[in-house]
Amino acid sequence: MAEKILARWKSWQVLALFAFLQCALTGLGVYFFDYFAGSATAGFARTGAVGGTGMFFIYMLGFLNALIVLIPVQRLGFIGAGALVYSLWALVGLPLEYHYEWVLNRSLRGVWAVAAWCVAGPLNGLAADLAHRFLPRSIAPGLRAALTGAAFGVACYLTTLAALAWLYVVPLDRGPGSFAGLTYFGLPWLAVHSALGGVLAWALTRPRAALP
């Protein structure tokens, strides 16, 4: 069904739809886990002096985020599709990041860090693009989709960890319960759930054989 619907759409329409969905998912995920859940998530994936539980959603939304990003990657197939899904996220995030973390809190090392944070999303999408393009075609399609999703999930973890380590004036929190301190659990969780999202994206977009 999804393949039939998307087949009628132009590439820019597919990208526009999934860019909106990705931005909405991220925004709702941040506010749901960071604000609405309140103290319920306060001890999990915290970011120390950077503030709050803002990275908890990275782990929790791995499956849905991979599904939204990898449907266009699977459907369109060109390098850059995954990165472009993050275009709206980056544009919306630029003024928000600037206001909250540079103007209000001065928690970043410099104004350049605002742009660096916003580049993280497109880099995640590019990781999916490259995995989809360069993984051997001899691999079974379903497994290939799972590996693409896992690569995307690992990229999401690494860009977030790099941002927390290098963009903030405070040292990276490696203590128990922190985003980095939960690597032993969070990284496998994110890779597996992103792999599942990749498989579903492939299943939804692969051409179906015509019925007799």
- pLDDT means per 10 residues, the chain with 212 residues, are 63 91 87 63 57 69 95 92 95 90 90 94 97 95 97 96 91 82 90 97 77 38
> Can you give the pLDDT at residue 102?
92
> Can you give the pLDDT at residue 24?
92
> Can you give the pLDDT at residue 170?
85
Angle at 12 between CA 11 and CA 17, to 5 degrees: 100
CB 145 within 8 A of CB 197: no
Q: Residue 176 burial (CB < 10 Å; 0-12/13-18/19+)?
A: exposed
> Can you give the pLDDT at residue 211?
36
Cβ within 8 Å of residue 156, ≥6 positions away: 58, 62, 65, 124, 190, 194
Encoding tokens for residue 204?
């939804």
3-class SS at 108?
strand
> Can you give the pLDDT at residue 107?
87
Q: Show me where the domains of the chain are located.
A: 2-205
Sign of CA dihedral 151, 59, 141, 207: negative
pTM: 0.88
Count of residues making up the chain:
212
Alpha helices of 56-182 — where are they, by DSSP H?
A: 56-60, 62-76, 81-85, 87-97, 112-134, 141-166
